[in-house]
Amino acid sequence: MIAHEIRTPVSLIIGPLKKIMSKSELLPGFVRGDIKIIERNGFRLLSLVNQLLDFRKAEEGAFVINYTQTNLGELVYSVYERFHPLAEVKGLKLNLHIPDKELIATIDPEAITKVISNLLTNAIKYAHTNIDLTIYSDKKTFTIRVKDDGKGIPRTDLKNIFLPFYQSNSGKNAGTGLGLSLVKSLTELHEGMIEVESEQNNYCEFIATIPLTPSRPVSVTQTEKQDMILSPEVLYNDGTGITGESKQVNNYVTETEQAPTLLIVEDHTDMRNFLCEMLESSYNIILAENGIKGLQELGQHPIDIIVSDVMMPEMDGITLCKKVKENIHFCHIPLILLTAKTDNRSKLQGIQAGADAYVEKPFSPQILQAMITNLLNVREQLRKRFSEIPLTPLHSVAGDQADKQFLSKLNAIIEENISNENFSIETLAGELNISRSGLFSKLKQLVDMTPNVLIQLIRLKKAAELLSTRQYRINEICYQVGFNNPSYFTKCFQKQFGMLPKEFINKYSTGGE
């Protein structure tokens, strides 16, 4: 009764909010953001209430099982699709194993969806890096296994883990203590059983075994697809209730072609989502909840700019900034620090760590957006100037001293081999003590070029430098910079700089660039 009394006003909060959101374009941006936070937490509260109702139904024997012939492969895959983005946001790898994709069982698909969802919620809450979701059959029963590589459950807690409201002391995230109890009830209503295997500091695995067909006569509904019932509320590990109409924040929130990729590192869920929603129309967004997860994302994806909070668990923003700026692979990436610390000492720490900008909370979304745009535009203008103006040096595109040293060394190595037309990328990478793939990634971010394209451009720039001295003929310079065909050299020079070598000499001699 109490749960119903709570759900009614929650529903009356969510309903009007949806009406407001349908006309959100008429509202100021900061109001839309606040409403989304209210909506998200309204769904969270509704999800908690629904979970409590399900538990009470099962406990009182009032949960009605509606048996349906169901394709278990499709059902499990549908649940996997909903949880996979959440696992990525948490920096986890969710692995799916379905040996038989045409496995049919007579079950209540909504109830089994709740079983899998609650097991995955639990796994995501405690896993370190990996979660395995497996379903298979022995012709009489099917088995669902959910395994995580987290801390495991203490042996003393195993006998109590399915009790209502019980919470193991090993957990780092508090919940209601109802999820596993509900899993046990729904499994047993299907004449099945649920077991747990665990080794502390190693893994935890839940195994639900259920008959493919109930032993007692039941009324069965036959349908080809069960998509219409695969939308119950799910209580995620951060407490966010997600329905078909609410929005799940993924690691990859947007996939705008050619848009820059922005990494947001923020431990506060609402702030992380607020930043995501504010910026997703202009950038491809990747999310991380602390500095350690941020570094993991940097190692897996090319990032154009980083916005990071300062105060975070496990690794704070200052430490993250230092590690980014000290790493030859990442130091070119602009990084903006967000912080509630407004004292000069904190600002100095951020600047000394190498931050490109330091923004105090509360901040203006418009100012933050403009700052991000300006940092990216400056980098793009430097690249454009280097590429199009013959005598602009390579190190001019550097954003900091580390990049300047790297590019100066790279330029020197290429110039030392300027006449060698067989000079290779492997040789260049070896001289720089960087892997071939690392060199490709670094140059893509710094100058938006492949190594081969950059090598040719540096040859052409060296040619421009020699042409400006008027000490050599054009054909002589062609061979000096590693070209073996004067005609091809002239064609490349004109394509790169918009003028023939002879025109460059004339322009330079009259004081032009």
**Residues 285-342: tens digit of each pLDDT:** 999 999 999 999 988 888 889 999 888 888 999 999 999 988 877 888 899 998 766 5
User: Omega before 362 cis (within 30°)?
Assistant: yes
**Long-range contacts for 129-133 (Cβ within 8 Å, ≥24 apart)?**
129/91, 129/92, 129/93, 130/92, 130/93, 130/95, 131/87, 131/92, 131/93, 131/94, 131/95, 132/95, 132/97, 133/76, 133/80, 133/94, 133/95, 133/96, 133/97
Tell me how far apart the terminal alpha carbons of the chain are, to the nearest angstrom.
81
The C-alpha angle with vertex 291 and arms to 306 and 169, in degrees rounded to 5, equals 145
- Determine the pLDDT at residue 177: 60
- Compute CA distances 24 → 19, 34, 131, 218, 314, whole Å: 9, 11, 38, 48, 37
Joined together, the tokens standing for residue 135 give 């379903």
DSSP state of 249: P
- Determine the pLDDT at residue 192: 92
Which residues, 6+ apart, have CB-to-CB distance to 253 below 8 Å?
276, 280, 284, 285, 287
CA count, 13 A, side-chain hemisphere, 422: 0
For residue 387, report the phi and psi dihedrals to the nearest 5 degrees. Answer: -70, -35
DSSP state of 394: G
Rounded to whole angstroms, how far apart are CA atoms 15 and 33?
17
- Determine the pLDDT at residue 47: 67
Rounded to whole angstroms, how far apart are CA atoms 44 and 237?
11
DSSP state of 215: S
Q: Is the pTM of this model over 0.85?
A: no
Classify each residue of 467-491 as buried b or exposed e, where b means 16 or more C-beta atoms within 10 Å of its C-beta. beeeeeebeebbeebbbeebeebbe
Joined together, the tokens standing for residue 232 give 């119950």
pLDDT < 70 regions, the chain: 1-16, 18-19, 44, 46-48, 51, 53-63, 164-177, 217-257, 340-344, 361-364, 508-513
- Determine the pLDDT at residue 144: 95
The C-alpha angle with vertex 51 and arms to 47 and 52, in degrees rounded to 5, equals 120
- Determine the pLDDT at residue 62: 59
Question: Cβ distance 212 to 142 under 8 Å?
Answer: yes
Which residues, 6+ apart, have CB-to-CB distance to 300 below 8 Å?
none
- Determine the pLDDT at residue 204: 92
Indicate the residue type of 427: T
Rounded to whole angstroms, how far apart are CA atoms 484 and 421?
8
Q: Convert the pLDDT of each residue in 175-188 to its tens digit.
A: 556 778 888 888 98
- Determine the pLDDT at residue 239: 33
Rounded to whole angstroms, how far apart are CA atoms 322 and 349?
10
- Determine the pLDDT at residue 232: 28
Indicate the residue type of 172: K
Beta bridge partners of 308: 265, 337
- Determine the pLDDT at residue 166: 60
DSSP state of 287: E
- Compute CA distances 388 → 381, 384, 499, whole Å: 10, 6, 11
Beta bridge partners of 194: 208
